[in-house]
Structure 1
Amino acid sequence: MSASTEAILIDLIFGLGALIVIAGLIGLLSSRRHKRSLRPMMSVILCGVGIAVIALLLNNLLFKTYAQLRVKKTQYYEITSLTTNMHQSLASSRTPHQPISPQAKKASRNVTYLVKHTNQTT
């Protein structure tokens, strides 16, 4: 699966958990109005919260953000390594204490473009 497919699945799981919580809250209010037991609706709410928390944990464990784009952590470390190497190679060609050149900024933008427009398979 690509990173975007996994990200969409995790977003769907989170949305499902949030929807279950909202339905549980509506059921809780309805049960309260009709003076029924609140325990079943509380368990539905807790299940929805559990699903949403699992989705959030998966999102934090699997993905990082690079240039406002969600990528897998392994790809993130490759990208930052490439960017660092580009900056070091460009820095070796200029004198110390010189500001970042337009070439270095362009190299960083090129890496960002590659990240956004290449579909790397796992």
Structure 2
Amino acid sequence: MKNERVYKMTFSKVYPLLVQKAERKGRSKSEVDMVICWLTGYDDFGLQAQIVKNVDYETFFNEAPQINPNATQISGVICGHRVEEIQEPLMQKIRWLDKLIDELAKGKPMEKVLRS
């Protein structure tokens, strides 16, 4: 049930929080967008369309054009859980995004954040 609450969170309400977190640490909105697009396969237009449509997290990830195949390289702890060990696919995608934004906010170079 706890996961269901997260899945139903509106992405357009979470998105500004992701941007704020990065901007507080000197990163930019465009860098956040780049990370989200890298993970989900959305282009800038597609990302903005999802925000305008007020989709929930579940819909946002279900409608994603293609989860980046290198996303499986994302590892580490977020919210007390190792992202590579999360069994629920949707929750893992959400935590991958959280982890990428964390790395961005911590000042990691974009090449490392994007696993290139």
- TM bracket (short chain): under 0.3
Which has the larger Rg? 1
Identify, as 1 or 2, the structure richer in helix. Answer: 1
TM-score (normalised: structure 1): 0.22
